[in-house]
Amino acid sequence: MSKTQDARKSHESVEEELKRLVEKKTFSPIDVAHLTVSFSDFTDRGVIVCSKAVDSLSRILKKCLFDCKNPGLNPSIYAIYEFFEEGSSGESTLSRFIENKGKFSSNSIDNNRDFVEITLDLEILVVNLEALFNEERIKIKKAKVQTALFAKEIG
C-alpha cells in the first residue's frame, strides 16, 4: 500500500471512528469536538496559498458550519468572526480565516500543477458534526472530544 493510500485510510478511519462514537451517543450533543481537518485541491505550479483552493474550502466550510442544527454555537464561529470586516460576506470572512489560520503544503504533480493541502483546526459542537461527515472534500485528520467526564482522542 502506498503512503497516499495509507494516509487516506488513516484519515477515513478517524472520521469513521468519530462518526461511530457520535452515533453510539458516547458524547453529549453540546460537547465540543476539537478537529484538525484537511482539504486538498489542484493549483498552479509553485503556488502554495492558492486563492482558488481557499475560496473552494470557504464555500464548503460555510455550508458545513451554517447548515447545521446550531451554527451560532460552534466555538470556531468566534475565531472566524475575528476576521470579519464591515461589508464583507461570510465567504470572504472565512477566506481570511483560512489564509491566516490554515497550514498550507504542496506537492508536485506534473510540470504545470501542484497538489495543495490546507490543514485547519476547528472547534465544533458534536451535534453539528453531521455536515462535516457528509462532506467528501473535507477529511478529519484528528479529533479530540472533551466531555464532562473524559477526553477521547482519535488519530
Q: Which range, of 13-27, 36-50, 127-141, averages the lowest pLDDT?
A: 36-50
At residue 46, the pLDDT reads: 75
Greatest distance between any 2 Cα atoms in the chain: 52
pLDDT at 62 over 50: yes
Cβ atoms of 129 and 16 closer than 8 Å: no
d(CA 80, CA 26): 28
Domain that holds residue 96: 3-154
Q: What is the pLDDT of residue 9?
A: 52
- Measured in degrees and rounded to the nearest 5, phi and psi for residue 67 equal -100, 30
Where residue 110 falls among pLDDT bands split at 50, 70, 90? confident
> In total, how many domains does the chain have?
1
Higher per-residue confidence, 113 vs 141: 141
Q: Is the pLDDT of residue 47 over 70?
A: yes
Q: State how far the Cα of 124 lies from the Cα of 146, in Å rounded to an integer.
A: 11
Q: What is the pLDDT of residue 6?
A: 53
Whole-structure pTM value = 0.84
Query: How large is the angle between the packed helices 90-101 and 51-66, nearest 10 degrees?
Result: 120
